[in-house]
Chains A and B, each alone.
Chain A
């Protein structure tokens, strides 16, 4: 069984505070005059978007790069994370002199709608009740997230983006940006993603959601008002999902069948194996920074994503006459979003006459490779953005 290191009440308190008043973030508030129209058929109002920016917007406002975070990411792309104290999630790729260069580009990363780091989500306060939304929060889609991001850009006075980049769920947002706002995106980098969530991926998500809902402390989602926190369920959900982010080869290389701090098996259900101990740690550290209901909503948003379905079942129609330069990247050992999914994107873009590049990177690190030290990824992202920057007239 998984034990959380922080007491549920303390971590719940911190989460609510972070959900309302996120530290080290900027907040854009949208009042009753600017509701967010949702695919679910309702509108969200008022709402807020927590975001961070890095670098400087040039005078012509042509060097903005939108970074879209993945399922459990947030706006803290680089720099110290206010909750975990750890480094940002994309320090490998973003920073001064890095491929997404903060000295050349103005980087914006918003926390997505439905998340729990300051943008309105199920742990935010529902103004009608004065209580956290919980499951009264409307179901969110990837397109809703992107629509909110477009409102943020309007708010910032940025007409068109030099680039949109993201991996996994972030890559889905990138693809949605290309489909919804082609004239606002000069270059796009969808990494390790797909235009629809596969049955296998929906299945994994459902296991995670059921783990959360099976936790007695979940209480139908009302744990914040009724007391408690489904940390065990959320940790199990994270443990299961984390396996899908790695690969058999990576797990074997990292852990093999090695025992954890012992020479022999204990003939018990302790974490005898290093890999068990590692997964338990992943689960425990995750619940300190993430809200269980947000996990339900964001996994649902990914499940619902099917870009072709929004365009009469023909994916290339989503990209018809797109002016955007698009660079699709996949990883050989990614079995969550395998190369075949990226190839389908490329075929559709070719059929639409788009200016597309596609590279598959050889690695045994699995889906998470987009977050890790992958020199070939850095070279490709840098080369693609440099080329696009020349075409855009950026210095």
Chain B
């Protein structure tokens, strides 16, 4: 397994939070992982909240892809460079090394082929930033174990029959995938249900149990880079 420096940088996030008002905590952690002035593609950018945060606090050259027409139109009306498209099919159209960072925020679990999406992200961008809800969180585990129904939590509010999420994974699963496709994990952070980052010295099993969400900064392994 790749060695990882788990970096919480809570002070930086707090400062970004002041500037950005009430942005979601996972978005603040992502923003903090992106170098200022970088060229960024946000895959599944929704209504553009993260892109706007990145433009305003990190001065990035930001682009977005979003599946929903409403989301796209909202983004474009905000002056963001966003196109209507599908992470599963449209990333293939982007050339190699087109971006410094390709971000997949809370979208991985909704893709049909997460592994291919991740591979494309690291082909298009030098770095990838992935955030996802951790299906290994204790609340999720307890609901299935004791209540016997598909888990529903604050960040996973859908019923099993109408969820867009088709590929849930745990922090452990994700790390395993990164290992399989030869991805270098540069930084990561997990935080609990109250948005507080977990102690970075905590062991991985602790993150997998108490982390409600995780954010990973990835890059190509030297051998895998072209």
Contact = CB atoms under 8 A, between A and B. Distances in A.
Contact of A379 (B77, B85, B93, B95): B77
A356 B83 contact: yes
A387 B79 contact: yes
A10 interface: no
Contacts, number: 63
Interface in A307-364: 325, 327-328, 346-347, 350-351, 353, 355-362
Contacts of B98: 350, 353
Interface string B56-80: 0000010100000100110111111
Interface residues of A, number: 26
A358 B95 contact: no
B94 A351 contact: yes
A351 B93 contact: yes
Interface in A373-395: 376, 379-380, 382-384, 386-388, 390
Interface residues of B, number: 20
Nearest to B92: A347
B73 A376 contact: yes
B94 A390 contact: no
Given A350-B94, A353-B98, A360-B69, A383 B83 contact: no
A359 B76 contact: yes
Contact of B95 (A353, A356, A382): A353
A376 B71 CA distance: 12
Given A351-B94, A355-B61, A325 B81 contact: yes
A382 B77 contact: yes
Given A347-B93, A350-B93, A351-B95, A359 B81 contact: no
B80 A380 contact: no
Nearest to B94: A350
A358 B94 contact: no
A229 to B, nearest CB: 45
A384 B85 CA distance: 18
Given A325-B81, A362-B69, A357 B95 contact: no
A327 B76 contact: yes
Contacts of A347: 93
A379 B81 CA distance: 14
Given A383-B78, A383-B79, A360 B84 contact: yes
Interface in B3-47: none
B95 A383 contact: no
B185 interface: no
Given A376-B73, A380-B76, A384-B76, A357 B93 contact: no
B215 interface: no
Contacts of A384: 76-77, 79
Contacts of B82: 357-358
A275 to B, nearest CB: 30
Contacts of A325: 81
A380 B75 CA distance: 9
Given A351-B94, A361-B73, A387 B84 contact: no
- Output the residue of B72, B75, B77, B98 with the most chain A CB within 10 A: B77
Contacts of A387: 78-80
Interface string B147-179: 000000000000000000000000000000000
B75 to A, nearest CB: 8
A295 B224 CA distance: 57
A328 B83 CA distance: 9
Interface of B: 61, 63, 69, 72-73, 75-85, 93-95, 98
Given A358-B85, A384-B76, 8 more contacts: A350-B83, A356-B83, A360-B72, A360-B84, A379-B77, A383-B77, A383-B78, A384-B79
16 contacts: A325-B81, A327-B76, A346-B85, A350-B83, A350-B93, A353-B98, A356-B63, A357-B81, A357-B83, A358-B76, A380-B76, A383-B76, A383-B77, A384-B79, A387-B78, A387-B79
Interface of A: 325, 327-328, 346-347, 350-351, 353, 355-362, 376, 379-380, 382-384, 386-388, 390
